[in-house]
Amino acid sequence: MTHPRFTDASTIAPPAWVGNRRRALAALAAAGLGAVDARAQTPPRDEARAGPLPPLGTHIELPELTLLDGSVLPPAATQGLVVVLYWWASWCPFCAVQSPLMDRLRQAQHARGLRLIGLSIDKKPEDALAYLQKRGYGFPSAWVTPAVERALPKPKGLPVTVVLGRDRRVVMSEAGQLFPEDVDAIARFL
């Protein structure tokens, strides 16, 4: 059974506030839902260059990735596994809510063949690494360099979650914060 949130993204109209990050963050702050970091209002990457979400069924080959801890993740290390690509940033308030859910998913489903790969768009890799270490997240993350950006172009929005099936075809493609049940539902692709 297909969950209605995991259909072709081009057929789902986003909420009216989605295109305006500054207005959405201001509304959250006005509603008393936490302090808004001024850095969160200005993403370090040029969102105008961001592309669309990859359509379902798109084949994506993973490049070799140098992770924030200095290790290298070769494409062969994820061959035949379900791979979750998760674009995030340390300054993103929506990522701050979703990242612990993603790490929990990684821990719960690793033995079943799920691999989560974080793709940080922070201005400096040191910021991303410090963020992961401070919060105790164990998901491997690469910093999005120009070379990584060419191989895995970041779709518009943040966070972005793209799930690749064992055949490297996109089975889920979502921009924006996922609810806990949506993150848990990723396990159905195993």
What pLDDT is attached to residue 82? Answer: 98
What pLDDT is attached to residue 169? Answer: 96
What pLDDT is attached to residue 147? Answer: 86
Q: Split the chain (190 residues) into runs of 10 and give each run's mean pLDDT.
A: 40 40 43 40 48 91 94 95 97 97 97 97 95 96 91 92 96 96 97
Q: What global pTM score does this model have? A: 0.75
Cα angle 92, 93, 98; round to 5: 95
Sketch out the chain's domains with CATH numbers: 9-13+56-189 (3.40.30.10)
Cα separations in angstroms, 51 against 61, 140, 160? 17, 24, 12
DSSP H or E run through 112 = none
Confirm if 189 and 115 have CB atoms less than 8 A apart: no
What pLDDT is attached to residue 87? Answer: 97
Q: Rounded distance, CA 126 to CA 122, Å?
A: 9
